[in-house]
Amino acid sequence: MFSFCTDPSTLENFQWVACYLTTGKHLNLYYAFGTVLLLLAITAPIALGFGFMGATAARSSIAPLRWLGKGYTSIVRGVPDIAFFLFFVIALDQAFEYIRHRWKCPDWTDPIRQGNDFLVCADAKLPLSNAAQWLHEVYGFSLAVLTFSIVFGAFAANVLFGAMRAVPRAQIETGEAYGMTTRQTFWRIMVPQMWVYALPGLSNLWMVLIKATPLLFLLGIEDIVYWARELGGTKTPRFTEYPHGDWRMWYFLFLLVFYLGFTKVSEVVLDRIMLRLTHGQATTGGEAQRKAA
């Protein structure tokens, strides 16, 4: 990175630290921070969408749809996250390959399940073995996003379901008295007001999602926890130009500060959103604002 980094053995103090922190592996660590932030930015709205669909289905008057919504929230929330991540990514990957296998290799006669092996034709592999490395990384990241979204969407569905029930029934009846249909009362009365009741639960869910990002390591993605452990371990002159002792404590301390700072910023943003949502509402937050004014 710097011109004076050509011979690390001659460096001291600041120059050694500057060269050490700009090695290729450290750049991978910084890239991993971007990966975590990108995961949160993509997963949060998708999980909220899954949650909204699950909560809406759970309230449906159509029995099969209602069973599907309640079954989704109950089953996913009842399975430990780690077990679900380890199972679902493998199952999802094999499901995609099975569909491609049936489509691309209709003449295949060998069984796909051979003992513990799952064998499909070469054209059905995802991604293809000769695909670029970035395609492998994007595919793995996409599976991680989908898995996180399904898991946290179930929790969001439970929160939104409770928020929908918290909207005063009298307001729905008033809308019906004015001639609104069920669809109109849902979208014009219930949905706009339910966020006031849902935001506290969604805020907690956002914090849990932030803390769950280290599970990326279980999905085969080199996240910040992986690189912190890799870079912090003892390095000898035989294997690196920047030898050092066991620095894992300092790397994990840096991650601790990062997560605490990120959650603090999230709290400030969520508090401002809550103030905006409760303004003028007949809720505890709205009453507190009226008294303060």
Q: What is the pLDDT of residues 46-74, one digit of tens each?
A: 999 999 999 999 998 899 999 999 999 98
Q: Is 248 exposed, middle or buried (0-12, 13-18, 19+ CB in 10 A)?
A: middle
Is residue 161 within 8 A of residue 55, CB to CB? The reply is yes
Strand partners for 113 = 118
Q: Once rounded to an integer, what is the mean pLDDT over residues 23-38?
A: 90
d(CA 17, CA 244) in angstroms, rounded, equals: 11
Q: For residue 285, what pLDDT is reported? A: 46
Rounded to whole angstroms, the Cα distance separating 283 from 1 reads: 56
The pLDDT score that the predictor gives to residue 291 is: 57
Q: Which of 146, 29, 167 is closest to 95 using CA atoms?
A: 146
Which of 86-90, 227-231, 281-285 is predicted least confidently? 281-285
Of 168, 183, 138, residue with least CA distance to 39: 138
Average of per-residue pLDDT across 251-265: 93
| 105, pLDDT greater than 50 | yes
What's the mean pLDDT in 20-40? 89
Q: What CATH number is attached to the domain comprising 253? A: 1.10.3720.10
Identify the helix (H) or strand (E) that includes residue 117.
strand 117-118
155 vs 133, which has greater pLDDT? 155
Cα R_g (the chain), whole angstroms: 25
Please tell me the least confidently modeled range out of 31-45, 231-245, 276-290.
276-290
Quick one: average pLDDT of 144-161? Answer: 92
Helix axes 284-292 and 248-278, enclosed angle (nearest 10): 80
Question: In total, how many domains does the chain have?
Answer: 1
Range of the domain at 104: 3-292
pTM for this model (two decimals): 0.83
CA distance 39 to 85: 15
d(CA 203, CA 157): 14
Mean of pLDDT values over 187-200: 89
Question: Looking only at Cα atoms, what is the longest distance across the chain?
Answer: 83
User: Residue 282: is its pLDDT beyond 70?
Assistant: no
